[in-house]
Amino acid sequence: MADETRKIAFICSKGNLDMAYPALIMGWAALGNGIDVTIFFTFWGMDMINKARIDHLEVPPIANTSMKMNMMGVPGYIGIPQFMGGLPGMTPFATKLMNDKMKGLGVPTVREYMEMLVDAGAKLYACKMSVDMFGLKKEDFIDGVQDIVTAGDFMDLTEGAQVIFI
C-alpha cells in the first residue's frame, strides 16, 4: 500500500434522487477503505445539502428512457409513454417507487447517508457561485458542510485527488 493516503473528490451537480446516490455510495465505500473524501456541491447538486430540499429529492420519469414498466412489476422492458411521464403525480409516484426499493435493500436515505459520510470524515463544500445565484446562505445547509468555496479553492482543496464529476 502506498504511504500517501489516496484521495477522491466528487463534484455533485445534479439534484435528482437517482443522481444523488452515486457520490454517496462511492464516497462511503472510499471512506471504508481508508480513502480521503471531499465532496463539492454545485448548481442543482446543492439540493443534496439544502436542509429544505434534502428529504424531498425526486426522480422524474419524463425524458428518462431507461425507466421501464418493470419497476412496477410489469415483466419485460415496456416503456412508459413520455406524455404519461408528464402527467401530474407521475414524478411523486416514481420517487416513491425508488425510495421504497432503496429502503427494501437497506440503503439509507440521502440525509442519513450524508450524516454517515460526515461522521466518517468526508469534507463537504458548497459552490460559491451557485450559492450566490440561488441566494442561499451557509445556514441553509445541513451540519457538516464546512464552507462555501470558489472553484479555485476547490482546485487547492483537491490537490492530488482523483476527481469524479456527477
Partner 1 sequence: MATKTICGTTVQVNDEGFMTNPNEWTRDIAVELAKEEGITELTAAHWKIIDFCRQSAVATGKAPTLRQITSGSGATTKDLFTLFPKGPAKKVAKISGLGKPEGCV
* Binding positions for partner 1, rule: CB under 8 A: 5, 25, 28-29, 31-35, 106-108, 115-116, 119-121
CB nearer to partner 1: pick between 90 and 142 = 142
Residue type, 35: I
Smallest gap from Cβ 116 to partner 1, in A, equals 5
CB nearer to partner 1: pick between 78 and 120 = 120
CB nearer to partner 1: pick between 34 and 73 = 34
CB nearer to partner 1: pick between 130 and 146 = 146
Chain position carrying cell 410489469? 74
The pair phi, psi for residue 128, each rounded to 5°, is -60, -45
**By C-alpha distance, which of 101, 103, 125, 100 is closest to 112?**
103
Dihedral angle at the C-alpha atoms of 144, 35, 44, 132, nearest 10 degrees? 60
Smallest gap from Cβ 120 to partner 1, in A, equals 5
Smallest gap from Cβ 119 to partner 1, in A, equals 4
> What number of residues does the chain have?
166
